Amino acid sequence: MTAPLDDLNLRRQEIPTILLQAESSPYDLRNLNHCRTIGAEIARLDEALGPDTDAPPSQDGSYLSERAADAAAAATLDAVRDTVTDFIPARSWVRRLTGADAHSKHVQSAIQAGLRRRAFLKGVGMQRNCAPPAAPAGFVPRRGRN
């Protein structure tokens, strides 16, 4: 229903600041000297991106497989939406001329940068012997170092 608003660039999906920062400097470690600050940055990324693939069950008791099923359902709805909007004459040209296509690509780029940054930070946390969430779930820090 809202596809025409998106296509005419009248409605834009806002990109969270944390993802814009990840896009401009995905491997920046300034002010991330402690496990606590790494964990806080990962939490901000989780808020923007949703849970990571290594996330434990959420508070509502759903598991990753259930969240994956929800994502698959959303992808199916997106495919149906795309099929329906493909019948709009010259839709691709309208999206290019209004800037909606460029904005959509920018949103996807920011999401990918956020995913890369979260994985990088979890690797740094693991290397620094941090406990989750500053490291991948299931990582057990060595004693005496943290």
Q: Which residue has the higher pLDDT, 100 or 10?
A: 100
CA 51 to chain centre: 9
Amino acid (1-letter code) at residue 54: D
Q: Which two tokens stand for residue 88?
A: 């709009």
Calculate Rg over the CA atoms of the chain: 19
Whether 135 has a pLDDT exceeding 80, the answer reads yes
Residues 46-87 pLDDT 10s? 999 988 888 776 666 555 555 555 666 666 555 555 554 455
DSSP 63: -
Q: Which two tokens stand for residue 78?
A: 């997106």
Q: Is the dihedral of CA 20, 23, 26, 29 positive or negative?
A: negative
Overall pTM > 0.75: no
Identify the pLDDT of residue 23: 94
9 pLDDT tier (thresholds 50, 70, 90):
very low
